[in-house]
Amino acid sequence: MIQLTNHPIDTAALLDRARHPNAGAVVLFLGTTRELTGSRQTVALDYEAYREMAERQLIDLETEARRRWPLLECMIVHRLGRVPTTEASVAIVVSTPHRADAFAAGQWLIDTLKHDVPIWKREQWADGTTEWVHPGITEEGERGRGGEGETR
Amino acid sequence: MTVRVKLFAVAKERAACDELTVELPTHATIADLRRSVTIAYPALAPILSHAMWAVDTAYANDNTKLTEQSEVALIPPVSGG
């Protein structure tokens, strides 16, 4: 299941849907808006998507993950619009018979999403300025700003 | 032929619009489109060397052929997650 939403992500509902009698493991990954990047303070991140293409890419990601690992359930949800600090911009939930596959699939899904899916974030800095994040182009991109603080 | 190009994020901000209209010869490719946009929209030039292109919601390459019906988008480096 994939979804782009303008509303807060209901992680409890996702985890409930991930339950399966053959599952021995459920892994949930959340990417959340972090307040500090170096010494700069973020109020919120604004997310924009090329929606038709992003949905298609997310479906392809789920299909490929299901081909690579024995996934019983697989959910990828990305929030659009304004995401304040501490809230989740992305959620990935996978359930598998054994935990190694769930961790591996979850890691691959978030890494590939961040690399391929046409979604962009804009920093809302505490000083009132804004800045699109484009790795390789913008200053923030150079520093590898990610919603959950990982480099691409 | 007339090709329309969707813009997002910093490209939309710098062009101050969310879609470009570009005149191209018939059978033009993404490489032709990039050259035309670089000349016609200098504000986008710094982005174009890093950006990808999409045609009909799939990533394209320089040789991808365009038609007037193509849904074309300029994809600056993505930053979802």
* H or E segment to which residue B10 belongs: helix B9-15
Q: Considering only the beta carbons, identify the residue of B54, B57, B80 that sits closest to A78.
A: B80
pLDDT tens, position by position, A91-107:
999 999 999 999 999 99
Q: Considering only the beta carbons, identify the residue of A117, A137, A141 that sits closest to B80.
A: A117
pLDDT at A152: 39
Percent of chain A with pLDDT over 90: 88
pLDDT at A136: 86
CATH of residue A65's domain is 3.90.1170.40
pLDDT tens, position by position, B16-44:
999 999 999 999 999 999 999 999 999 99
pLDDT tens, position by position, A36-51:
999 999 999 999 999 9
Q: Within a domain: residue A99?
A: yes
Q: Is A148's pLDDT higher than 80?
A: no
| Contact A88/B at CB under 8 A | no
Q: Within a domain: residue A84?
A: yes
Q: Within a domain: residue A132?
A: no
The residue of chain B nearest to residue A115, with distances taken between CA atoms, is B78
* H or E segment to which residue A67 belongs: helix A51-68
- Write the ipTM: 0.96
Q: Is A29's pLDDT higher than 80?
A: yes
Q: Within a domain: residue A76?
A: yes
According to DSSP, residue B36 is labeled H
**Residue ranges making up the domain that contains A71:** 2-32+50-119
Domain count, chain A: 1
Residues of chain A contacting residue B80, judged by C-beta atoms under 8 Å apart: 47, 49, 54, 78, 89-90, 113-114, 117-121, 147
| Contact A42/B at CB under 8 A | no
Round the average pLDDT of chain B to a whole number and report it: 97
Structural domains for chain B: 2-75 (3.10.20.30)
| DSSP E strand stretches across A61-103 | 73-79, 81-84, 88-96
pLDDT at A141: 52
Q: Within a domain: residue A143?
A: no
Q: Within a domain: residue A78?
A: yes
Residues of chain B contacting residue A53, judged by C-beta atoms under 8 Å apart: 54, 57-58, 73
Round the average pLDDT of chain A to a whole number and report it: 92
The answer to whether B54 touches A53, Cβ cutoff 8 Å, is yes
